[in-house]
Amino acid sequence: MVVKLRLFIAIDLPDSLRRTLSDTQEHLRRELKDIAIGWSRIEGIHLTLKFLGDVEESRVSEIGERMTKIAETWNPMQLELRAIGVFPSITRPRVLWCGIDGELERVSQLQAELEGGLEAIGFPPESRPFTPHLTLGRFRDRVGKGAQSVATLKNIVNERADWRVECFTASSTSLIKSELHPRGSIYTPLITTTFQS
């Protein structure tokens, strides 16, 4: 029987950043209490570079080799949390996110290198443009029934347009296994590749 794993590649986040994200979620939870949002568990927040989907377990080492080869050519990057926003729009939000700033050009280059390296071994490239972000929560249904909920959300996004909270060093990527469970996904790093210092 062929065993398949649900996999993605992400930049690893430091624990201090996760604490900041937890505090941010708590503030937003209070401010958005009238809007149905499924909040991301803190350990489940990742700066995803590439979603691979269901992959045969036998391919894990091959993916790891590509990741290692790429990581060996990279130095750590300086990034920071910046702004709160929604995808796709303020009137039809699906995702509540925290933005990333700093060396974004390098993050995009890293993502493109991973795309190219994985495409060479049969993984199709993403059709959507890469937008670095951290998903804080997903809207369970349309934002309220009236303009009040939209106005509340718009105020929160506008107030935090220039919000900058914490700088962090991105120094590694991980291949992560995601297992879906009734209480939420469980994430297990399978391979971690460290950038050169």
Please tell me the predicted confidence (pLDDT) of residue 115: 97
Predicted local distance difference test score (pLDDT) of residue 100:
95
Query: Does residue 79 register a pLDDT over 60?
Result: yes
Closest-CA residue to 162 (of 94, 95, 101, 78): 101
Among 73-77, 127-131, 173-177, which stretch is predicted with the lowest mean pLDDT?
127-131
Which amino acid is residue 104, in one-letter code?
Answer: L
- The pLDDT of residue 163 is 83
What does the pLDDT look like over 24-66, one tens digit per residue? 999 999 999 888 899 999 999 999 999 999 999 999 999 999 9
Other C-beta atoms closer than 10 Å to the C-beta of 148 total 11
2 Cβ contact list (under 8 Å, min separation 6): 56, 57
Tokens encoding 148:
């009040």
Q: How many CA atoms, within 13 angstroms, populate the side-chain half-sphere of residue 14? A: 13
Give the C-alpha separation, 128 to 125, whole Å: 9
Q: Which residues have C-beta within 8 Å of that of residue 182, sequence separation ≥ 6?
A: none
Name the percent of the chain lying above pLDDT 70: 96
Domains of the chain, CATH where assigned: 4-194 (3.90.1140.10)
Q: Which pLDDT value is given to residue 145? A: 52
pLDDT per position as a tens digit, 145-170: 556 778 888 888 888 888 888 899 99
Question: Which residues, including other chains, have CB under 8 Å from residue 195's CB and lie 6 or more apart?
Answer: 71, 74, 75, 76, 77, 170, 171, 172
Q: What is the pLDDT of residue 6?
A: 97
Residue-wise DSSP of 14-33? -HHHHHHHHHHHHHHHHHTT
pLDDT tens track for 105-122: 999 999 999 999 999 999
Q: Quick check: helix, strand or coil at residue 71?
A: helix
pLDDT value of residue 147: 61
Residue in the block written with tokens 């998903």: 135
Dihedral class, residue 122 (left if φ above 0, else alpha if ψ from -120 to 50, else beta): left
